[in-house]
Structure formats: structure tokens, C-alpha cells
Structure 1
Amino acid sequence: MFLGWIKNAMPRGIYGRAALILVLPVVTLQLLVSVVFIQRHFDGVTESMTSAMAIELRFLQSQVNGAVDYEAARVALDRVTTGLELTTTLPASPMLPDDVKPFQDLTGRKVITNLREQVPDVLRISLAERRVVTLWLETNKGPLEVSFRRNRVSASNPHQLLVIMVVMGAIMTTIAYFFLRNQLRPIKRMAAAATDYGKGRMTNFNPTGALEVRAAGMAFLDMRNRIERQTQSRTMMLSGVSHDLRTPLTRMRLGLSMLDNEDVEPLIKDVDEMQQLLDGFLDFARSDAADVLEPTDPVDLLDAVMEDAKRSGLALTCIETAPAGTSIAMRPDAIRRALDNLVGNALRYGQKAEISLSVTDRSVRFTVEDDGPGIPADQRDEATRPFVRLDPARNQNKGSGVGLGLSIVSDIARTHGGMLRLGDSERLGGLKADLVLAR
């Protein structure tokens, strides 16, 4: 539980953690020096200085006790106090009810303790004034008030060491923080480049900084280049295969259409289905194509989808939309393809569909809902994989396909730094598909 509390209390950002790494040792060192050095050193200095003062106080007390009367005691005090730099009052002014030591006085307790131990007849000690010590001594002529400078019994400025430690610690920590920030800046740039790449943006990134950070940056660039090469290879392969097969299929269909035999009709239907499969492969290949990011208003995309649905007589309704005029960097052709797939998928397995759009500071979300059979929760992850067809969940007889529709949408969402979420539609009872794009 304690470790969990520490983990939750730790800063989340790398700058905050770096600052903690810098500040914690400095503060710990200052506390250690304060306790060990200041306490022991100044206690030793105070004890030595109060011992010397105690000798003078005892001598002063003996002069008063040895005098025959008050007048002789005053004469003796005047004779010795000038040389000892002491101020005396006999008879003394009214004593304080108790010793006085300000809270911020670091060595005051040690001064009072040592004086009482070495001068047993001390009645009261006052350290109320920062530069003066006043005490009352018991004599046979009554209480004797004695005042002297504070720096005669203790170092007058022990707090200066603390001030110097704090100020220098803050200065050195600030310098170290700026230096460390320069070392962490390449890591932030690499993280920003990785985030942009996850959103489909190729950001220029030049590895800099320490050797380890530079090595990590070079590894990131190599990984990004390998992914780009693999994506391009897959796109070219699927496009090439689909394009090469389209020509012989067209010749087969033309040849079959010239025959009058009724047995040819099923063959033509097979050729048409193969043509649809090739179109699906091409769409899947284009889902990773490096389209140019353009400032696009998502409301315009939604309006275009609704306009096409209206012309085609599709049962698609827009239930919610965002205010127009928002410009967001995205690939409009890819997003339009994804929306067409979601709408076509919804109307293929349902009687009607609804679409909505919401825009926030961090994301754009297109939602398509239908009244079809839906997809069980334990099969939704599998439904977004390529070439997967869920026969039990989605009635296979209502449409042909190769199982790439949701996979294409998922790939397009990932190239925009988002995701495709599948759930249950509370409004229509069928499938709810959220196409979430990062801003």
C-alpha cells in the first residue's frame, strides 16, 4: 500500500521526475549537513565560548560576595566590568518569570544549558534580544543583573550557513535542470515524431543528444523506414495482383455473355463475385496508401455520405452533427472510404442505419448504428482482422465479401492515430461502430 502511494505521488512527466532526481539528493544532503555539522559544530563552539564566559561570571559573583556592603560591591563591579565589557545592575531590575529563548534561535538552548551547568547560581537567562544576553545571578547582596554581547557565548550567525546552502543548492539545481532539459529534449522530439507517425504524419526527426538517446533515435528511424517499406510492398503486391487478375476476368465475362446457354448464368455470377473480391483487395491495399494529409472539415465528409445515401435511396439518417468550420488534418479519401464501408456494412445486415458526428479538442468520432443482428462481444476483435467472416453473427447470405470491410476501416483509423470501436446500439439494437480519429 505504501509503495502504491509513492507510485501515485510520483510525477508523471519526464521533466518532473528529472527535477525530483535532482532536488531529492540536494535536499537530503542539506538536511544531513544541517543536522550533523551545524548541530555538532555549533554546539561545540557554543560550549567553548560559554565556558569562557562562565569563568568571568563566577569571578564577577565572587567580587560582589566579597564586598562588605553595597557601595563596596558597586565599586568592585565598576572596576572589573569595564575591562570585561560587561554591563551590571545592582540591585537588579525585576526578573522574568522564566528563561526566554526565541524559537528561531538555533544555539539558544545550548547557551542556557551550559551557563546553568557552569554557573550554578544563575537565576534567569533572557535571549529575547538577538544581540544581547541578559542574566540574573544570585549573590549575598541580592540578584545581580548582567548583560553582555551575544557573540561572546555563541556564533551570532549560524543561520548564514543554512541560507548559503539553500541558495547555492537552488542555483545549482536550476543549472542542472536546464542542462538536463537539453538532454531530455531529443527524447521529447522523438516521442512527438512517434506520435505523429501513429497519426499518419511523417515528421522530420534528426537524432541528437547523448549517445544512448541518439542510438534510440536512429533505431526509431530504422523501424519507421522498415514499416514504410513493408506497407508499400504490401500495397504494391495487392494492387498488382488485383490489377493483373482484373483483365482476364473481364475477358471471361465478355466471353460468357456471348453464350446463350442458361447454364452460363451461374458462371457469370461467379465471375462478378470474383470481381467484387478483387475490388475488396484493392480497397484493402489503398487503406495503407500514403495519401496526403489535408485540412478537412469532418462535417463536409458527413454531408457527402448523406448526399450519396439520399441519391441511392438508402435508409440512412443523420441524428447528430458537429458545428461546421472545424479544420482537421486528415486523409479525406481514406475517411470517406471508411465511412462508406461502415454504412454499407450496416445496411447490408440491417434495415436502417443512423450516423452521427462529434468533435472534441482531442478527437473526432463518426458513429454508425444499425438494427441488424450485431456482433457478439467475444468476436468483435476477430471481426476487425483481415479475411475474417463471422457467419453466425452476421447473416452471410445478405452480401458477399472477403472479410475486409471492418479491417479496412480499422487500418484507416490507425493511420490517423485512432481506432475502431464496436459495441451494441442502444437506439436500434444492432451494431454500433465508432470511428475515432485523433486530432
Structure 2
Amino acid sequence: MSSRWLKPYLPRSLYARAALILVLPVIVVLLVVSVAFVREHLEDVTGQMTRAASREVRLVLEDIQGAETQQQALAAVRPDLRLLDMQARFLGSNETPTIEPRRWYDFIAPQIDADLQELLPNLVAVSLPDSQVATLFLNTHLGVLELGFDRRRLSTVAPHQLIVTMLFFAVIMTSISFLYMRNQLRPITRLADAAQAFGRGRVVPFTPGGAVEVRAAGSAFLDMRARIERQIEQRTLMLSGVSHDLRTPLTRLKLGLSMLPEDDAKPLLQDVNEMQSLLDAFLDFSRGASEGEQVEIRPDELLRSIVDDAQRAGQSVELLPPEGQGAVMLRPTAIRRAVENLIGNAVRYGSHAMVSMTLTDKSLRIRVEDDGPGIPPEQRTEAVKPFSRLDPSRNQNQGSGVGLGLAIVADIARVHGGVLRLGQSERLGGLCADIIIGR
């Protein structure tokens, strides 16, 4: 419960989460070590060196106090400057201290400045432009004294060197870990791609690899895919065989009934035609979405062809302008059958059908609406089940069926990795059927 607020900010992919697990501890360790190094080591060492340098500066200032001119002062401190390896001069009356900018990564300079200001009351300014030179500007009774000496007497040489070294090796080790992690996660990614492709009706080559557990999962996926393919093939062969074997006796019955008087043969012939329509529906259901391979097509052109065929057949169908254009991987024959089934239901239970399409970067939506009685919300789940007939809500006098139309559409959408959603049409007031397929 307490970690729910964190979930929206976490990455979704396995690779990104593994990278976060790998990088986050490294960053934390670097920060902790850097802070501890700066506070516990650099600050103490810098403080000691700054105090030693300030004593030398005070020694120079004490020798200047007895001088009456700037030349006498420089002559008096010349032995000290030689021993302390310093350079000194007085600024002119119109000259101001020159403070050169510091380097952006010189994080120890502010501490040096603060320590010198505390230890040297006469200090005017400090110039620390680099790691080689330090220049102090001090007030004296003879004017502003510019005192220069080696920066290394105030702080350690390149105090950022340890941090830079840690960062360098951290980047190298993290890069090596990333390469190793990518090789370990690649079999999982390939397994996920193969499973996603199979869920959308495509079979892509896949060979198990990686760690033992990943190989076991890959082998289990291949076994499951093979079983599902066998079951689909067996179902198709069984229903196709039954439908094919029953066509012959039905044809003989039709021939026999054609020889009887019309009044006696009419009701029997109607029963035979109904059996024929049942067989055709079973055969369509057995084919499902297994007919044809997925190819890249433009769904707007496919819908235009379907609507044109329906209009030539005398059906009242309207195609709205498509929203979005592009190509999508689909089974054209299966999608055509699904849309034709929806249009057939729409004009059977209503008087007018409206077809529209919305294509985005993430999904394809094909919508068929009608002005019929629609389907109540509590019966929509039952409506997509095979052999389900909702006679009270759908006017059966307008036509008959075996309850496989929506089941076929749902099966086709499912094989494409999508879903069939039923609702109420806002435009026409009847049923609204959406085929939504992810890209």
C-alpha cells in the first residue's frame, strides 16, 4: 500500500528496471564516498594547510609593519619571500585587485577562501584561478599588498582526482555490467516478442536460449504453441470434414424433394436450406481467423472495398472518412469476414449501417454502428459466445442465425491480438461494435 505512489515513476520494461537496479546502488555509493571524502579528508587537510600558509603570510606582514615606504617594505621582506618562495608587490593607487574566475569543478576553493578570511583579518580578496597559483590581496599601512605563491600550499593537488577516478571506473564497470545484463535479458525479450507475435496470429522463429530458467520457459512456450496449433488444426479439420460429408446427403435430399409436389416439398426444402446455412456457418467458424497470412495492408482501402461490395449488394451501408492513415499487419481475408459479419448483422436487425476507422500509433479501431434495437449491457458478454442467440433483444423476424456471427468476429479480433467491444451507438442509437487491434 505504501509503495503505490512510487509505481507511476518506475520504468515499465524489464531492461529499464534491471538498469535502474544496477545503476542506483553505484550512484548512491559514489555520493556517499564523495561526501565522506570531502568532509572527512579534504576539509581537514585543507584546513591544516591553510593555517600553515596563513602563518607564513602573517610573518611577511609583521616584517612590513616597521617600513616607512613600499620600497623599504619590499626590501625588508625579500629574505622571507625567498625562503617562503613567494612573490610580492604593492598595487598602484589607481589599481584594483584582479580576481580571476575559478574553475567550475574547484569545489575546495570556497573553503580556502572562508578559512583565509577567518585567519587573516587584513585580507581583501583571494584569487584561485587554477591549481598552480594563489594570489592574496592584503591591506597594509602602505597600501594593498599582492602576495602570490604556489596553490598547492593551500590544498592538496587536484582534490577532485579521487572522485574523477571513481567516476571513471564506475562508468567502465557499469558499461561492462550493462553489456552482460543485455546478453542475459535478450533471450527474455525474444521470448516476449515471440509470445506477443503468436498472440497476434503470427508465428516467428524462436529458439530457447539464455539461463536455465529462461530456456525452460522458452521450451514450455514452444510446447504450448505447438499444442495450440494442433488443436486449431484439428478443430478446423473436424468441422470442415463434418460440413463436407453432410453436403452430399443434403444435395441428395434437395434432388429428391425437387421431384415431389411443390406444396409437399416446400416445408421440407426450407428445413434442408436451414441445415445448409447451419453447415456454412459451422464452416466459417471452423476457419475462424486461420485463413491467410498476415500482410501489411492499408485498412482504409480494405474497408472501402468491403463497403462498396455491400452497397452493390443493396445494403444500406455508409463509410465515414478515416481518422489516420497508414499500413497495418493484418489477415485481409479474416478482417473482411469479420467486418462483413458486423455489417450483415447491422442491416439484418436495423435499416442502416455506418462504418468508421481510427488509426493511431498504438491501435487500429474498426467500428460498425446500426440503428437497430441493440443489445442490453447485461447480455453483451453472452452475445459473443458461440451458438448464443439473443432473440428477445435482436428482432429474429428480420433474419435467423445460429449465433456464430459475433463469435467469429471476436475470434478474429483475438487472433490479431485485439478485442471485440460491444456498446450503444451515439450516432444511430443501435449497436456499436468495435474491433480494436494493437499495433
Distance in 2 of aligned mates of 1:31 and 1:80: 43
User: SS in structure 2 opposite 1:235?
Assistant: helix
Distance in 2 of aligned mates of 1:81 and 1:303: 95
Q: Is the 8 A contact 1:127 1:134 kept in 2?
A: yes
AA of the residue aligned to 2:125: S
Identical counterparts, % of pairs: 48
Distance in 1 of aligned mates of 2:89 and 2:416: 89
Change (3 A) 1:94 1:135: farther
Within-5 A mapping of 1:90-105: 105=106
AA of the residue aligned to 1:127: V
What is aligned with 1:188? 189
Change (3 A) 1:92 1:55: farther
Give 1:132 deviation, angstroms: 1.3
Q: Is 1:35 paired with 2:35? A: yes
Distance in 2 of aligned mates of 1:129 and 1:437: 65
What is aligned with 2:150? 149
Distance in 2 of aligned mates of 1:74 and 1:347: 109
What is aligned with 2:225? 224
Give 1:303 deviation, angstroms: 5.3
User: SS in structure 2 opposite 1:285?
Assistant: helix
Q: Is the 8 A contact 2:240 2:283 kept in 1?
A: yes
AA of the residue aligned to 1:26: V
Distance in 2 of aligned mates of 1:393 and 1:72: 115
TM-score (norm 1): 0.80
Give 1:60 deviation, angstroms: 4.7
Q: Is the 8 A contact 2:100 2:128 kept in 1?
A: no
Change (3 A) 1:110 1:358: closer
What is aligned with 2:427? 427
User: SS in structure 2 opposite 1:82?
Assistant: helix
AA of the residue aligned to 2:210: G
Q: Is the 8 A contact 1:108 1:127 kept in 2?
A: no
Distance in 2 of aligned mates of 1:154 and 1:403: 87
AA of the residue aligned to 2:235: R
Q: Is the 8 A contact 1:122 1:138 kept in 2?
A: no
Within-5 A mapping of 1:370-389: 370-389=370-389
User: SS in structure 2 opposite 1:43?
Assistant: helix
Q: Is the 8 A contact 2:291 2:333 kept in 1?
A: no
What is aligned with 2:285? 284
Distance in 2 of aligned mates of 1:137 and 1:271: 119
What is aligned with 1:126? 125
AA of the residue aligned to 2:370: D
Render the CA deviation track for 1:6-40: whole Å, top value 9, x for unaligned.
Answer: 43333344444444334333322222122101222
Q: Structure 1 residues 108-117 or 88-97, which shifts more? A: 88-97
Q: Is the 8 A contact 1:42 1:158 kept in 2?
A: yes
Distance in 2 of aligned mates of 1:135 and 1:293: 81
Render the CA deviation track for 1:214-252: whole Å, top value 9, x for unaligned.
Answer: 333333322222221222222223223333444444445
What is aligned with 1:8? 8
User: SS in structure 2 opposite 1:46?
Assistant: helix
Q: Is the 8 A contact 1:322 1:357 kept in 2?
A: yes
Give 1:404 deviation, angstroms: 0.6
Considering only aligned residues, what root-mean-square deviation do their CA atoms show, in Å? Answer: 4.1
Change (3 A) 1:68 1:418: closer
Q: Structure 1 residues 99-108 or 127-136, which shifts more? A: 99-108
AA of the residue aligned to 2:271: D
Render the CA deviation track for 1:141-167: whole Å, top value 9, x for unaligned.
Answer: 999765432211211421333333344
Q: Is the 8 A contact 2:310 2:317 kept in 1?
A: no
Q: Is the 8 A contact 2:293 2:331 kept in 1?
A: yes
User: SS in structure 2 opposite 1:391?
Assistant: coil
Distance in 2 of aligned mates of 1:100 and 1:297: 66
Q: Structure 1 residues 400-409 or 105-114, which shifts more? A: 105-114
Change (3 A) 1:108 1:334: closer
User: SS in structure 2 opposite 1:127?
Assistant: strand
Distance in 1 of aligned mates of 2:123 and 2:289: 89
What is aligned with 2:24? 24
Give 1:320 deviation, angstroms: 2.8
What is aligned with 1:173? 174
User: SS in structure 2 opposite 1:132?
Assistant: strand
AA of the residue aligned to 2:223: D
Q: Structure 1 residues 282-291 or 260-269, which shifts more? A: 260-269
Render the CA deviation track for 1:92-140: whole Å, top value 9, x for unaligned.
Answer: 989999x9996955334544565577x6x6421632233214264889x
Change (3 A) 1:58 1:365: closer
AA of the residue aligned to 1:347: V
TM-score (norm 2): 0.80
Q: Structure 1 residues 332-341 or 289-298, which shifts more? A: 289-298
Change (3 A) 1:307 1:51: closer
Change (3 A) 1:93 1:39: farther
Distance in 2 of aligned mates of 1:143 and 1:438: 77
User: SS in structure 2 opposite 1:435?
Assistant: strand
Change (3 A) 1:72 1:351: closer
Distance in 2 of aligned mates of 1:326 and 1:110: 63
What is aligned with 1:275? 276
Within-5 A mapping of 1:2-401: 6-57=6-57, 59-60=59-60, 77-88=77-88, 105-111=106-112, 122-124=121-123, 126-130=125-129, 131-134=133-136, 136=138, 146-255=147-256, 258-260=259-261, 265-296=266-297, 298=299, 301-302=302-303, 304-306=305-307, 308-310=309-311, 312=313, 314-320=314-320, 328-357=328-357, 363-401=363-401
